[in-house]
Amino acid sequence: MKTIKGPAIFLAQFQRDYAPFATLPDITRWAAGLGYKGIQIPTGDSRLIDLDLASTSKDYCQEYLGLLREVGLVPTEISGHLQGQCLAMHPAYEEAFQPFYPAGMKEKERTAWAAGQLKKIILASVNLGTTSIPAMSGGFAWHMVYPWPQRPQGLVEEAFRELAARWRPLLDMAKDHGVCFSYELHPGSDLYDGATYEMFLDEVGQHPAACLLYDPSHFVLQQLDYLHFIELYGERIKSFHVKDAEFRPSGRVGVYSGYQSWARRAGRFRSLGDGQVDFRRIFTLLTEKNYDGWAVLEWECCVKSPEQGAMEGAPFITRHIISATEVAFDDFAGAQTDTERNRRMLGLT
């Protein structure tokens, strides 16, 4: 078994226009000061990474790594979440998602832009020495997740064929460069649970670069067995968001939660240790599955401040990382293999 790396932190939820969150030197010193050893890097703000330079200049990447090294950090992954969401998008979401892509782009332009961005992330990952690219899949059928009115036959299959067609060239490029995409199964995308992930794998021919980012919080909110998920798909998990959640239904709200704000929903994201996720069991199962990637804090809590969540997150993750054993506890009582002795013990003399 292998030992999970960590603790690390995803910087996306901590970016601000004021210190210490506005620049790469400041936010990395802040993260390192809290005990984090790695950062997952968002790519929507050039203040944290210049994606054009990172994908084309090894000198830039060496300087970037040197800056992190000075404060005791390494990059864990470069995020492609938002670009993946923009690669495949139903027109109904164009305006809502507009902050994620350049203004004025229509469907074909946006798809080409997103694909170009994801290609740059592949190259930047190679230059920075990371191997997993967290991403959302995007999709076309999410608004039809509940079958009313009844979905026409073949509709979902057509959505997944188109989704696979857009992702297949990127998966091929990732494989050729020794990296993978790790899809975060997320509401709003067509890949949001095990069944939809399997449908996608079938469409891309079980592609080896179509992997998973494991985030139990999204599974709590949709009441999926997040522990059994590891047993089913553990070999495909290449990234890990350590994020807590709780689900407290009432006679008034359940999974769908009646368009309420996050604070008033039955399912809510929480800071680590404040929710219902069984992280002891998760870290055990991932260790048993030989997951040796990073344990990355993603903070999204509707109660606690991000500063407190980040401060508490590093020691929480550290406590849960298992130093995988290389020996069996009863080795002291073992003996060399002896076939004749074994047969005597079985009464087979």
Give the CATH number for residue 85.
3.20.20.150
* Residue 229 clears pLDDT 80, i.e. is over it: yes
Summarised one tens digit per residue, pLDDT across range 96-105 is 999 999 999 9
* Residue 115 clears pLDDT 80, i.e. is over it: yes
Q: What's the token pair of residue 80?
A: 């492609």
- Residue 225 CA to residue 92 CA, distance in Å, equals 31
When pLDDT is averaged across residues 161-179 and rounded to a whole number, the result is: 98
Please answer whether residues 121 and 133 qualify as being in contact, where contact means their C-beta atoms are separated by less than 8 angstroms. yes
When pLDDT is averaged across residues 325-330 and rounded to a whole number, the result is: 69
* Residue 252 clears pLDDT 70, i.e. is over it: yes
Number of folded domains that form the chain: 1
Residues in the chain: 349
Q: What are phi and psi of 226, to 5 degrees?
A: -75, -20
Please answer whether residues 311 and 35 qualify as being in contact, where contact means their C-beta atoms are separated by less than 8 angstroms. no
- Of 349 and 292, the structure prediction assigns the larger pLDDT to 292
pLDDT band at 333 (very low <50, low <70, confident <90, very high): low
Question: What does the pLDDT read at residue 332?
Answer: 61
**DSSP string for 209-276:** TEEEEE-HHHHHHTT--HHHHHHHHGGGEEEEEE-EEEE---SS--SSGGG--GGGSSEEEE-TTSSS
Write the CA distances from 141 to 15, 134, 187, integer angstroms: 31, 21, 11
Question: What does the pLDDT read at residue 295?
Answer: 98
- Name, in order, each residue with C-beta under 8 angstroms of 92's C-beta and a sequence gap of 6 or more: 143
pLDDT band at 326 (very low <50, low <70, confident <90, very high): confident
pLDDT band at 146 (very low <50, low <70, confident <90, very high): very high
pLDDT mean across residues, the chain: 96
* Residue 145 clears pLDDT 70, i.e. is over it: yes
| Closest C-alpha to 49, from 26, 23, 69, 73 | 23
Question: What does the pLDDT read at residue 44?
Answer: 87
Please answer whether residues 71 and 27 qualify as being in contact, where contact means their C-beta atoms are separated by less than 8 angstroms. no
Rg of the chain taking only CA atoms, in angstroms: 22
* Residue 158 clears pLDDT 90, i.e. is over it: yes
Burial 99-132 (b: 16+ CB within 10 A, else e): ebbeeebeeeebbebbbebbbbbbbbbbbbebbb
Locus of tokens 């949709």: 222
Locus of tokens 């995988």: 324
Q: Please tell me the least confidently modeled range out of 20-29, 50-59, 138-147, 332-341.
A: 332-341
* Residue 17 clears pLDDT 70, i.e. is over it: yes
Please answer whether residues 133 and 178 qualify as being in contact, where contact means their C-beta atoms are separated by less than 8 angstroms. no
Q: Which amino acid is at 252?
A: R
User: What is the dihedral angle through the alpha carbons of 90, 182, 321, 248, rounded to the nearest 10 degrees?
Assistant: 20
- Of 332 and 86, the structure prediction assigns the larger pLDDT to 86
User: What is the dihedral angle through the alpha carbons of 130, 195, 228, 270, rounded to the nearest 10 degrees?
Assistant: 70
- Residue 144 CA to residue 190 CA, distance in Å, equals 10
* Residue 329 clears pLDDT 90, i.e. is over it: no
CB atoms within 10 A of CB 192: 23
115 lies in which domain range? 5-345
Q: Which amino acid is at 148?
A: W
Report the share of the chain in percent with pLDDT over 90.
Answer: 93
Question: What does the pLDDT read at residue 330?
Answer: 62
Summarised one tens digit per residue, pLDDT across range 27-72 is 999 999 999 999 999 998 999 999 999 999 999 999 999 999 999 9
Sign of CA dihedral 29, 34, 36, 42: negative
* Residue 258 clears pLDDT 70, i.e. is over it: yes
